[in-house]
Amino acid sequence: MNSNGADFPLVRARGLRKEYGSGEGLVRAVDEIDLDVATGEAVAIMGPSGCGKSTLLHLLGGLDRPTAGELWLAGRRVEKLSERGLAQLRRLDVGFVFQAFHLIDELTAQENVELPALLAGRSPRQARRSARELLEQVGLADRADHLPSALSGGQRQRVAVARALANEPKLVLADEPTGNLDSAATLELLRLFDALHAAGLTLVVVTHDERIAATADRMISMRDGAFVDETRLVGGSRGQLGSLFGVELEV
Amino acid sequence: MLGRTLLVLRLVAASLRRRPVEAVVTVVAIAATTTTLTLGLALHGVTDHPYETTRAMTSGPDIVVMPTTASPASGSSGSSGPSGSSGPSGSSGSSGSSGPTISGPGTGSGSHVNLLASLDGLIHAPGVVAHSGPYPVSYPTMRVNGSKVLAVAEGRTTRGAKVDQPYVTAGTWVRAGGVVIERSFAEELNIGVGDRVTLDGRSFPVVGIAVTAAVPPYPYTVTGVAIDNLNNVWSQATGLIWTTKPIARSLATSSVPLSYMLNLKLANPQHASAFIAAHSDGNSLYFESWQDVRRVESQQMLPFQRGLLIGSALLDLLAIASLAVIVGGRLAERTRRVGLLKAVGATPRLVAGALLFEYLTLALLGAALGLLVGWLVAPLIANPGAGLVGSVGAPPVTLSDVGWIVGLAIAVAGLAAWIPSVRAARTSTTSALADSARIPKRRPLLIEAASHLPMQLLLGLRLAARRPRRMVLTLVSVTITMTTIVAVLAIHAHESQAAPIPASVFAIPVNPNTRNTDAVLLVLTVVLVFLSIVNAVVITWATSVDSRQPLGIARALGATTRQVSAGLSTALLIPSLPGVIAGIPLGLLLVKAAGHGSNVTVPSALWLAAVSVGILLAIGGLSSIPARIQARRSPLDALQSEFT
């Protein structure tokens, strides 16, 4: 397969499989998944807990290696990359947003956002300027010098989003990003994702919240490690977030 | 009850299975600590009044009297001892001069009758309650195992004496045709029972090895003896042997004729000096009080004892640092685990029981290992003065030592289980589950400074800044190690600069004191370095465990395994560098403080640089082992383990 074609998707998975254990204890967390995600597309993966959606996300982002199958990201074969190659992939091509935020406790919001840029070898000044802009973009410019412990859950998650965007990744992967947030904070985050999507960012969001899935271009249902259903949402729900949450929104 | 016990056992087994490397590191750290304690306890017996013990066991005399006919002080030989004689200056003769002044014993003036008459007068002097001798003494040249040394041969009866009956440590007491060798003399020349020695060309079997408190051991039994007055040849070293009276008499020669040795026991041993002052006639008799002998003994053992004292103190400090790190390192993880157990309904007592049992298992295993290593190593350094009874016959590790060590292990286990139990009991279950046990310190200046550094240094500096107390422990550990190594280097540099012994001197082949001290320094240094290695590994391990979350995040954000591993090693090297630098002047100060020469010889810059670089490389290399193990874990594992 030619991976350099102009119509080649940003993410392509073929027969992707992830197994844990062996013998009778073998668990197939991801079972022969085929997936294409086009550049600029927003995909929501839904399913009950334990269906393998987070594992799939970890495979897509190079946090874990598949047991079998092929995976391309931006034309590169991910499963064949060395540890160093995977690290580089995570550093430059992928941004992660975790349910538990995973901010470093002793670093301020700004320092947390700077970290990926410093890892990528950018100068401290550049990293700082970029972090400032991103925090401004997520509406937290006035909280830049706060420690995570001094921020609300929604604010922490927005810091995590800013951090995910620090190196202008091709793909942002969000694992239950609203799982620890209340409705208002969820709405704020969805607006942020919506704005990023509108700006052309490719998003893959794992969730079990249908309201969040409804904001995507495509919704995939997963069960027992496999895709069971796929729905294309025409135009996504951009502009309809408020109605989803029963809140009047200024778009 | 059975169900709970089973549950506790299962929890312990699961915990050990889940973190086997950590369990092994804990056992090693506790073993290192208990080894140190074992050595400390074993050495305590050695330094605890060994002379007094020997004196009591041998009915040691209060005063030893020998005729002296040509002392350098009296000038009858017309010569003085060799300059720079290495003999101790503590034993004084009746004239109060420094150092025994026997020179050419019995080499001239005075007949045997006169000598014996003057000694006989002392036996009946007021205050004397018992005596032995006078025993004939000759000074044959002894050849054995390729060495040539001057012996002091004392003629004895085969029966025991009321005063100064040497304690036989091997073989038998004097019997016809055989000789008994003073133990330090025998050890120095590697003589054993059954060997043969040559005295002035005549061969004798060695029938026994013994110790005495009457005279100082080899090489200072009698110092500065002229063995050839005409040619001005001196011996710096003499060792004592006991034989039968006829043999002792037969070994006398015209150039070194027969002398005598009389042992006196006073009604009040404290009056020895007064007795000597009252009966000293100036030149013809040489007196040595039991206090003189003790002073020589203590001077002889001083460097050894100081070495032990300072070495054990340093070892204790390192051991405490190890324990602090090991217990502290597991606390964070334990607190989360306690939270988890509480969340599923375990009572505080059950949680504490599970933790205590787990630590007890590890601590007892470590203690057993430490006892074994200590028991094997102790004899290497617990033999400072072979001339003294000390701990002769007693095992270096006693039952009470074992009790102390097991007690320490149980205390460590109790403390390690108690702190997280109390912490977890005080914090809510959700907090214990979700949060890091101790919120790391924030150091804004360091964080800012680190952002200007390469990634390895950035990670290292920020990791170091998270736990400053741990970094202080690293600093202390490395400083102690470097201090010790520099001190050893300085001592060796000092010794290598010592003036060579003149060719005319009948020299000591090897100074046993120097060799003893060297052995102690070597063993202490090895143990210290080993403990430092354990510390380096334990601290890196603790740092890596404690930093799983930030390192997992860094990995998720694109840090490579090598960057994370190098960052962890750097976190240890940051405090190690000032430790290495500080260790250089501190090592020299230690040598000065220990009184090893007023002028401290600074080791060559090349050696210091090599040791400094070597220590840093060793720390970097050793810390990279746990660092790599940690860094190779999946970042997912690191992120998820925060909650398990």
Domain ranges (residues) in chain A:
11-93+169-245
Task: Measure the CA–CA gap between B368 and B30, rounded to whole angstroms.
Answer: 10
Res B223: pLDDT = 54
Res B357: pLDDT = 83
Res B93: pLDDT = 39
| Distance of residue B560 Cα from the nearest chain A Cα, in angstroms | 5
| Distance of residue A92 Cα from the nearest chain B Cα, in angstroms | 8
Ranges of each domain in chain B: 58-297, 441-496+511-644
**Which helix (H) or strand (E) segment is B261 a member of?**
strand B259-266
Task: Measure the CA–CA gap between B56 and A22, rounded to whole angstroms.
Answer: 74
CB contact under 8 A, B436 and A105: yes
The torsion region of residue B585 among left (phi > 0), alpha (psi -120 to 50) and beta comes to alpha
Q: Is B14 on the interface with A (CB under 8 A)?
A: no
| Distance of residue A140 Cα from the nearest chain B Cα, in angstroms | 20
Give which of A30, A102, A108 to mutate to test B binding, by max B Cβ within 10 Å.
A102
Res B382: pLDDT = 54
pLDDT, tens digit, 9 for 90 and up, residues A97-156: 988 888 888 889 999 999 889 888 888 899 999 999 999 988 899 999 999 989 988 899
Average pLDDT, chain A: 85
Q: Strands B202-211 and B179-182: what pairing?
A: parallel
| Distance of residue B461 Cα from the nearest chain A Cα, in angstroms | 13
Q: Is B442 on the interface with A (CB under 8 A)?
A: yes
Strands, E, within B55-171: which ranges? 63-67, 128-138, 141-144, 147-156, 167-171
CB contact under 8 A, A119 and B550: no
Chain A CB contacts of B636 below 8 Å: 58, 63-64
Residue numbers in chain B where pLDDT is lower than 50 = 70-109, 384-385, 387, 389-395, 435, 437, 501-510, 641-644
Chain A CB contacts of B442 below 8 Å: 106-107, 147
Q: Is A197 on the interface with B (CB under 8 A)?
A: no
Res A67: pLDDT = 93
* SS3 label, residue B181: strand
Res B88: pLDDT = 36
CATH of A11-93+169-245, one of 3.40.50.1100, 3.40.190.150, 3.40.50.300, 1.10.260.30: 3.40.50.300
Residue from the list A58, A87, A114 with its beta carbon closest to the beta carbon of B451: A114
Buried b or exposed e, range B357-394, using 16+ CB within 10 angstroms: bbbbbbbbbbbbbbbebbbebbeebbbbbbbbbbbbee
Provide the whole-model pTM: 0.65
| Distance of residue B347 Cα from the nearest chain A Cα, in angstroms | 28
* SS3 label, residue B104: coil
Which of residues A168 and B239 earns the better pLDDT score?
Answer: A168
Asked if A18 contacts A63 with a C-beta cutoff of 8 angstroms, the reply is no
Res A11: pLDDT = 94
Chain A CB contacts of B556 below 8 Å: 63, 90, 96, 102
Strand partners, B228: B233
Give which of B557, B637, B639, B641 to mutate to test A binding, by max A Cβ within 10 Å.
B557
Res B644: pLDDT = 31
- Which amino acid, one-letter code, is at A87? A
Q: Is B636 on the interface with A (CB under 8 A)?
A: yes
Chain B CB contacts of A107 below 8 Å: 442, 447
In percent, the amount of chain A with pLDDT more than 90 equals 40
pLDDT, tens digit, 9 for 90 and up, residues A201-215: 999 999 887 878 888
